[in-house]
Amino acid sequence: MNEELEKLEANAVAAIQAADSNSELQDVKVRFLGKKGEIGKQMATLKEMPHSQRKAFGKALNELKGRLINATEEKKKELEEKALKKKISAESLDITLPGFRFPTGRLHPLTRVWHEITDVFIAMGFDVVEGPEIETEWYNFEALNLHSEHPARDEQDSFYLGENRLLRTQTSPVQIRVMEKMGAPPVQIVAPGRVFRRDATDASHSPVFHQIEGLVVDKDITMGHLKATLEAFNKEIFGKDILSRFRPDYFPFTEPSCEVAISCIICGGEGCGLCKRTGWIEILGAGMVHPQVLKNAGFDPKKYSGFAFGIGIDRVAMLKYSIDDIRLLYENDMRFLKQF
C-alpha cells in the first residue's frame, strides 16, 4: 500500500474520530466515502494505473473502504449512544412530585356493608328482595301483631304521610309481602332497605337508618336452624373466632324471640368500653315466626314454621369500622368517606 493511501486512511480515521455529531459524521462520510470523495478519487486513478499495480492497489483500496465504512458505523453507533445518554440525562424528573391522577371513587361504608351482608346470605341460598319505604299500617304494624295500642309501638314512633300511610319503621313488612307474593313455601329471603323512626338524632340514634330482614319458612323449620344460620352469618361478617349468644327477647311477630349478641370484637369477651364490660355486643333480633303472622300472610301455621331476623346495617358498619357516632354515616364528610 502506498504512502498516499496510508495518509488518506490516517486522515479519514482522524476525521471520523473527531466527528462530534451525526451530521459531522455524515460530512466526513461524504468527504471520504461519497461519490466524489477521497476514496472515489483514488478509484478514478485505477484506470491509469499499470496493470501490474492495478490489482493490488484496487484490493488495498477496497479494503480501506471497508475499514472506513466500519469505522463510520462504529462511530455512528457511539454517537447515537452518546446522544441517547444525553437525552435521558436531560429528561430527569423529580420522581416524588404527585402523579397526574383522577380522583378515586369510593362506595359509602353503608353500601359496602350492605353488599357484604347480602353476599353472605346469597352464598347461603337466600334470595335478595325488596319492599317499599312507604308502607301501610297493615304491613308495617297490624300484620306483624303490632296493633295500634301495643306497648312495643313506643319504640317505633313513625312518620305519617296520611291516613294509614307511613314510612316503614322496620324491614319486617317485607316478610308479609314476600309470603303473600310467593303463596307457598319454601321461602328463603333477605330484604335490605331503609327504615325511618321519629327519633331525635344523637350519637346512636338516627331518624333514618338501614336494616336487613331475613325470613325462612318451610316444613319443620326449628330454632336450631335459626341459631346455625345466624352463627354462620356472624362468623362470616365479624370473623371466624366470633362467638354468638342467644337470649330471650320480645318481638310481637316472633315466638319465641331472641336477641343475638356476638363476643366483643375489641376485647374478645374480657370486657371493655365497647361491650360495656359485658364481653358481648348486641347485634340483631330474631325469632321463630309467630303463627298469627304466618296466618296473616296466608300460610298455614299448622303445616309450616319459620324463622325471621332483622340486622341493623348501620350498626354492623359502625362495629366493623369502629365508627362511634351514627351521624358520621350521613354527614358525608370526604375525610370520612375516603377511609373506606
Residue ranges that bind Zn ion, judged by CB under 5 A: 264, 266-267, 272, 274-275
Closest contact distance (angstroms) between CB of 63 and other proteins is: 47
Closest contact distance (angstroms) between CB of 129 and other proteins is: 6
Which span (6-14, 46-54, 79-87, 241-249) binds other proteins, by CB under 8 A? 241-249
When CB distances are held under 5 to 8 angstroms depending on the partner's kind, the choice from other proteins, Zn ion, none that residue 218 binds is other proteins
When CB distances are held under 5 to 8 angstroms depending on the partner's kind, the choice from other proteins, Zn ion, none that residue 272 binds is Zn ion
- Return the number of the residue (65 or 168) whose C-beta is nearest other proteins: 168
Q: How many residues touch other proteins (CB under 8 A)?
A: 89
Give me the torsion for CA of 271, 277, 278, 279, rounded to 10°. Answer: -20
When CB distances are held under 5 to 8 angstroms depending on the partner's kind, the choice from Zn ion, other proteins, none that residue 275 binds is Zn ion
C-alpha cell of residue 262 = 356476638
CB atoms within 10 A of CB 197: 18
User: For residue 124, which of 226, 249, 205 has the smallest C-alpha distance?
Assistant: 226
Enumerate long-range contacts of 71-75, CB under 8 Å, 24 or more apart. 71/12, 71/13, 71/16, 72/16, 72/25, 72/28, 72/29, 72/33, 75/16, 75/17, 75/19, 75/25
When CB distances are held under 5 to 8 angstroms depending on the partner's kind, the choice from Zn ion, other proteins, none that residue 121 binds is other proteins
- 253/169 Cα distance (integer angstroms): 14
- Return the number of the residue (18 or 203) whose C-beta is nearest other proteins: 203
Closest contact distance (angstroms) between CB of 274 and Zn ion is: 5
Which span (21-29, 57-65, 176-184, 228-236) binds other proteins, by CB under 8 A? 228-236
Which span (21-29, 33-41, 70-78, 196-204) binds other proteins, by CB under 8 A? 196-204
Which span (30-38, 73-81, 96-104, 177-185) binds other proteins, by CB under 8 A? 96-104
Contact set for other proteins, span 126-165 (CB under 8 A): 126-130, 132-134, 147-152, 154, 159-162, 165
Does 99 help bind other proteins (rule: CB under 8 A)? Answer: yes
Pairing of strands 160-162, 244-249: unpaired
Does 188 help bind other proteins (rule: CB under 8 A)? Answer: yes
Closest contact distance (angstroms) between CB of 98 and other proteins is: 5
CA angle 162, 166, 167 (to 5 degrees): 140
3-state secondary structure of 321: helix
Task: Check: CB of residue 214 under 8 Å from CB of residue 189.
Answer: yes
Q: Rounded to 5 degrees, what are φ and ψ at 35?
A: -55, -40
Task: Check: CB of residue 108 under 8 Å from CB of residue 340.
Answer: yes
C-alpha cell of residue 68 = 472506513
- Return the number of the residue (74 or 127) whose C-beta is nearest other proteins: 127
Using the rule CB under 8 A, which residue among 196, 233, 299, 309 binds other proteins? 196
Q: How far is CA 29 from CA 26, 55, 65, 242, in A?
A: 5, 25, 11, 82
Closest contact distance (angstroms) between CB of 263 and Zn ion is: 8
Residue environment code for 241-253, b if the CB has 16+ CB neighbours within 10 A, otherwise e = ebbbbbeeeebbb
3-state secondary structure of 210: strand
When CB distances are held under 5 to 8 angstroms depending on the partner's kind, the choice from Zn ion, other proteins, none that residue 332 binds is other proteins
